[in-house]
Amino acid sequence: MPKADRQTSGNGDRSTVRAGTVMAEKRLSHAYMLLAPEGPERDEAARRLAAELLCTGAEPPCGQCRDCRKVLAGIHPDVTVVTRESRDKGLRQDIVVGQIRAMTADAQLAPNEAARKVYIIDQADRMNAQAQNALLKALEDPPGHACFILCAASADALLPTVRSRCVRTGEAAGRRARSRELPDLVRGYLEAAASGDRAETVMFCMNRTKLSREDTEAFAGQVKDAVCDILCGRLADPGLGRETLLHLDALMDKTEDYLRHNVQPKQIFGLLAAETLR
């Protein structure tokens, strides 16, 4: 995807979601993590998400409004792509801190044409530690008109604090949404963890050992999404606290890794029974 021009006009701050847009402000996040294999399909998915964030049509992304057309063509001045830089002997190995600092400085400026500015960080899993820490500052206190899309093949290379501040999207997120039972399971799990009662937590986990692999994967993803929403203030904290929330986020990462290595749900919930309360 070509990098968009960065020009500033005197349009002022237009960070409010425009009237008529289906994406209500309460549903809008300042940061998304797009998890998918690297390639044209992920690039296209990132452009569609950026178009949805800037769309002025009735059903974002409409594909017809000026903002949608420009985003999908890769020429919107309020969409910037950050990726590994070229140097004399090829691509730089990582996205470095200077690139992220330049991006966050640009994010402080008002949008050129749209209601907000969108920054697509391609290969976000190739940010080095310094770059991720610089990005974390922007995610913790984002400009009101800026949105960030982190594209990665895997979340494992990203800091837990970065992951926890992003809404996950992609194929896995779609699978999680199919089970109506999962939100209740997530709520029950978080309440058990917040109670601090080990017997209650163990009982909760042991009663879920017969879930399917797909539902266990979905459960882990839903817990991560809930943790992110609590840390970002979109959901009330049931009494877990920041340190415990970060612990649960890392524990769900471990759960997803074990599932990828064919560990069975019975063993997964045994792990959660043992490690949810430290």
Q: 87: left (phi > 0), else alpha (psi -120 to 50), else beta?
A: beta
Domain's final residue, options 146, 169, 192:
169
The closest of 193, 226, 188, 180 to 208, measured between CA atoms, is 188
Residues 267 and 240 in one domain: yes
Show the domain range for 88. Answer: 25-169
The DSSP secondary structure of 211-225, one letter per residue, reads: --HHHHHHHHHHHHH
Residues 86 and 163 in one domain: yes
Looking at 27-31, 236-240, 252-256, which range is the least confident one? Answer: 27-31
In a domain, 14, yes or no: no
- Name 61's Cβ contacts closer than 8 Å, sequence gap at least 6: 48, 51, 52, 55, 68, 71, 72
Give the pLDDT of residue 176: 37
Round to whole Å and give the CA distance between 116 and 107. Answer: 9
> What would the two tokens of residue 274 be?
């043992």
How much is the CA Rg of the chain, to the nearest whole Å?
20
Residues 159 and 70 in one domain: yes
Which pLDDT tens digit goes with each residue over 58-111? 888 888 899 999 999 999 999 999 998 876 566 667 899 999 999 999 999 999
Residues 199 and 140 in one domain: no
In a domain, 133, yes or no: yes
Domain's final residue, options 169, 198, 217:
169
54: pLDDT strictly greater than 80: yes
Residues 239 and 218 in one domain: yes
Q: What is the pTM of this model?
A: 0.55
- Name 257's Cβ contacts closer than 8 Å, sequence gap at least 6: 156
Which pLDDT tens digit goes with each residue over 159-205? 988 988 888 876 433 333 333 334 688 889 999 999 999 999 999 99
Give the pLDDT of residue 22: 29
Give the pLDDT of residue 97: 94
Give the pLDDT of residue 204: 92
- Name 71's Cβ contacts closer than 8 Å, sequence gap at least 6: 47, 50, 51, 54, 61, 79, 118
266: pLDDT strictly greater than 50: yes
Residues 45 and 81 in one domain: yes
Give the pLDDT of residue 124: 94
The DSSP secondary structure of 186-241, one letter per residue, reads: HHHHHHHHHHT-HHHHHHHHHTTTT--HHHHHHHHHHHHHHHHHHHTTSS---S--
Of the pLDDT bands very low, low, confident and very high (cuts 50, 70, 90), residue 224 is confident
In a domain, 6, yes or no: no
Residues 138 and 232 in one domain: no
Q: How many structural domains are present in the chain?
A: 2
**How many residues are recorded in the chain?**
278
206: pLDDT strictly greater than 80: yes
15: pLDDT strictly greater than 80: no
In a domain, 132, yes or no: yes
What does pLDDT average to over the chain?
Answer: 82
